[in-house]
Each structure stands twice: as structure tokens, then as C-alpha cells.
Amino acid sequence: MLWVHDEMLRPSVLRDAEPACFVFDEQWIADARISLKRIVFMAECLEAMPCVEVRRGDVIEELAAFAETHDVSMLRTQVTPLPRLRSQIERLGSRFEIELFHEPTFVGLPGKVDLKRFSRYWNKAKKQAFKPTGEQAGDSLFAGGN
Amino acid sequence: MSTLPRDFESRDDLIAAYREAFADLVGRDDHVADFEGGRDHAQRRLDDVNPAKYGKTRNYLDGDVTRLGPFLRHGVLTLSETRDAVLEKLQEQNSRAEKLINELAWRDYWRRVLADIGEGVHDNREDWKTGLDDADYELDMPDDVLNADTGNDFVDGSVTELYETGYLHNQQRMKLAAYVVHWRRVHWHAGAQWMLGHLLDGDLASNHLSWQWVASTFGSKPYIFNQENLQKWMGDRFTGDSDDGPSPFRGSYDELNERLFA
């Protein structure tokens, strides 16, 4: 199955015949006081993604319930830097076999980059940033884990 | 079972269903933006982007900004495909305008920083450079700012716009953040959390780290502005004047530094 989280609301992540589910995270909406306009925006993006089941509630519980109705144990989703989603991916690891994929690389940079200031990153990234995606090395938006 | 309906007949039907479904969570603020989500809308916005004009005018309130932020934040458009589209347009325009690629790179940068620091995004990245420290800043947003009732046309107008549209021009974001942190001495984190919930493109990495940059906890000095600078970028929209006295933004940068941080 595909877990569609809130950083991957585009139809191209969907695969034919693969069940897909998005969950409006009640805890996040309450804690971050996410406004109705933002929720509506996301709902409209989901409308443009055929066949994604849309739920609200506890993300882990809802995905487990969805998996049960489809009898699946493998979960695919996109790598993210958001701590909230990373922690959920980690918790899902005890319930599912997880397959992570990356967004196409914006700039492929060798090794560790000094991120203390944008200028240091830009000195390393500038040349690459002006090359099309097909010419980027590596498949990861950023180094390290999910 | 908590499945939500989908495949609505119209936008109004979707809005009505979501307004009802989330009434318990979103409280009093039930504004909905005119700005529509979905891949087709994203593609149309991307097709309309003009990198050369963006490079020249983006800092002005009425400048040719892209409004791609909500689509980039939610992965409707990837940074890479957006870059590729911009490169093609630059070629068509025979233009060397670099600014838009640079702005996309900022988003990549913030995300790399977030991947490194995780929950540390909620803590000061560095010490304050204002001569003050955490204890000097209020932990809650002032009611008059939250209610768009400060009497200052720029502050109240920007807060109202944020609530109604989920969007603020980058100059408004920086200046509103600077007002909250430096003029009102509110901790950047309170402001960042407040703004994040309302922005359609509210992104933990760019939002919180930009507030830290304004505050000086992720940069070499605090960001401030004066009335002259505000009027330069805001055109006719805002004066920076207050109902009940002189503008808090009036003065030279030396005078403002003296007044705000001494």
C-alpha cells in the first residue's frame, strides 16, 4: 500500500492497483492549529489524486485499519525531513515492511555540506542547481536516514 | 471508521463537507482561501511563471511572484521539476535571471537543515544578537496582534490578509515577524507557530528557520526595517502609520537599533 503523507500530494506517486491512503492527522491539526483553509487546500490536492482513500484520526491507527481491509503488510511512502512524519514512519516500522522512496534530487552534492549559513551551501550547490534533474548525481534530497 | 467523502460535484460541496467534518478541530477561524489546490492548478501556475520578471519585481508587494509555495510545500510540484521548468523558460527568454533558481535552492537548504536538526528546529540555533536573551521575550502572542487590532495599518492589514487568504508576500512575512519579535519583544517561536497554522505553504523548515533568521538566532544580526523601507516595497497598500501616534517604524536604522535593543 502507499501512505500518502502531506508532502507528496501529486498523482505521479500513485501506482495502478496499489491501495493508497491519506490521513488528516488530528493531533497535528490540533497542536499546530492548522487552519481550515489549509485543510481545504490539501483536500483539493487529494481530489486530484484518484482512488486515494481520505481519512481523519490517529495516523498509525488509521493506516493499520486501512491495511487490514486491503490485507497488506508492505507500506511505501516518501522520505521526508519533517520530524512528525519521520517519527510516524519509525512507528509504522513495527507494523509494516517499509519501502521508502525519494523525491527526485534538486542538487546532488558529494558528502557532508556545511549548512551553518545558506552562502556556504550555495557555494557548493550553485553550479549543480542550474543543471536539469537528469544531470544530478545521487538519488537523495538530503543525506541520512528517512 | 473515519473515512472522509471525496469526488465532490463542486468546490462549494467540498468546502461545506470539510467545514462540517473539521468544525471540532479548527475552532472559530473558518476562512477558506480563493487559492485552489490540485495538480492542474499547480501546473497552470508553473506555466505562468516568468523568471525574468520575477527577478526584477519579486520584492514589491505587487511584484510578479510565483505563488508556487503551497504546491511545493505539499509536494504537488517537486522542487526538481519546478527548476527544470524554470530553466526551460530562461532559455526561451534568453535570460540569465538567477533569482528564482536561488529561491528554490533556499527551500532545499532549509529542508537539509531540518533533516539535520529535527525537533531542534524549535530551539534557538544560536544565541540572540540583540543584547537580550530568551527571558526578555514574551512566550505568547499579544491579543491585539492576533485580533488585527494594533491600530497600525501594516500590521493589522497583514494579519487580516493572512487569516483570509493563507498567504503573505515575503516582505510582509519578514516585516511582520520583525514587528512581533523586535517591536513587541515576543519570542520568535510563538510567532512562528502562529503563522505556520495559517499559511497555505506553512512549512516547518522555511517558516521556523526564517523566523529565527529575523530574530538573530540563525543569522549574524537581527532583521529590522524602517518606515522608508516599508513604504518602498509596499507601494500604496500600507503606510506603516498608527492610529494613535507616530509610526513605530519611523527613524534611521541607528535610531531604531538604539530604541529596540539598547
DSSP-based three-state secondary structure for B7: coil
Q: Report which secondary-structure segment, H or E, holds A78.
A: strand A74-78
Residues B20-48: what's their mean pLDDT?
90
Q: What cell was used for B193?
A: 507557530
A112 vs A42, more confident: A42
User: Across chain A, what does the average pLDDT equal?
Assistant: 93
pLDDT category at A104 given cuts 50, 70, 90 is very high
Whether the predicted pLDDT of A74 surpasses 80? yes
In this prediction, residue B237 carries a pLDDT of 87
Q: What is the pLDDT of residue A146?
A: 41
Q: Which three cell numbers stand for residue B81?
A: 521539476
Above 60 in pLDDT, residue B124? Answer: yes
Cross-strand partners of A98 = A75
Q: Pseudo-torsion of CA A133, A136, A138, A143, nearest 10°?
A: -80
* pLDDT score of B16: 96
Residues 9-68 of chain A with CB under 8 A from chain B are: 9-11, 24, 26, 29-30, 32-49, 52-57, 62, 65
Give the 3-state secondary structure of residue B59.
coil
Q: How do residues B223-254 score in pLDDT, each as one tens digit?
A: 999 999 999 888 888 888 899 888 999 999 99
pLDDT value at position A143?
47
Looking at this protein, which amino acid is placed at residue B76? V
Q: Which of A38, A46, A129 faces B6 most closely, judged by CB atoms?
A: A46
- For chains A and B, CB pairs below 8 A equal 200
Closest CA to B169 of B110, B229, B234: B234
The pair phi, psi for residue A108, each rounded to 5°, is -85, 115
Specify the pLDDT at position A142: 54
| CB-based contact B251:B226 (threshold 8 Å) | yes
Has the ipTM of the complex gone over 0.85?
Answer: yes
Q: Nearest CA to CA, how far is A97 from chain B (Å)?
A: 23
Cell 525537533, residue located = B119
pTM of the model: 0.95
| pLDDT for residue B90 | 87
Nearest to B195 by CA among A62, A100, A35, A91: A35
Chain B residues with CB under 8 Å of A65 CB are 1
Q: What secondary structure letter does DSSP report for B245?
A: B
Helix (H, G, I), strand (E, B) or coil at A56: strand
The CA distance from A131 to A66, in Å, is 41
